[in-house]
């Protein structure tokens, strides 16, 4: 059982390291990267699509929103999904 504790500690350490890395990068980007600048056209399109999917889920259902997000021929479905998370 000692091996299980080591693996759990290892996974927890990796998750904490990834979290710290993401926090540091978001902080730096917010001060002098893309997050501190005005959104460009692509960013606005992705956020607009994310809002469209969000309100479709609110009006109809989560399944309808997932269908909209994953079955339509989107230019960048992952970026629109990231916009939903914001």
Does residue 79 share a domain with residue 49?
yes
Q: Kindly state whether residues 51 and 70 are assigned to the same domain.
A: yes
52 and 66 housed in the same domain: yes
Give how many domains the chain has, as a whole number.
Answer: 2
My answer on whether 26 and 49 are in the same domain is no
Q: What tens-digit pLDDT sequence spans the chain (86 residues)?
A: 567 788 899 999 999 999 999 888 888 877 887 666 666 667 777 788 888 888 988 999 988 888 887 776 666 777 777 777 76
Specify the pLDDT at position 35.
61
In whole angstroms, give the CA distance from residue 65 to residue 57.
Answer: 5
Please indicate, yes or no, whether the overall pTM of this predicted structure exceeds 0.95.
Answer: no
Q: 81: Cβ–Cβ under 8 A, 6 or more apart, which residues?
A: 50, 69
**30 and 56 part of one domain:** no
Query: Which domain, by its residues, includes 18?
Result: 1-37
Does residue 12 share a domain with residue 1? yes
Could you tell me if 33 and 72 lie in one domain? no
């Amino acid at each position: 059982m000692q091996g299980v504790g080591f693996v759990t500690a290892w996974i927890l350490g990796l998750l904490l390291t990834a979290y710290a890395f993401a926090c540091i990068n978001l902080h730096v980007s917010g001060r002098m990267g893309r997050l501190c600048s005005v959104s460009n056209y692509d960013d606005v399109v992705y956020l607009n699509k994310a809002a469209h999917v969000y309100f479709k889920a609110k009006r109809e259902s989560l399944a309808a929103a997932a269908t909209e997000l994953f079955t339509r021929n989107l230019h960048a479905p992952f970026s629109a999904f990231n916009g939903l998370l914001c």
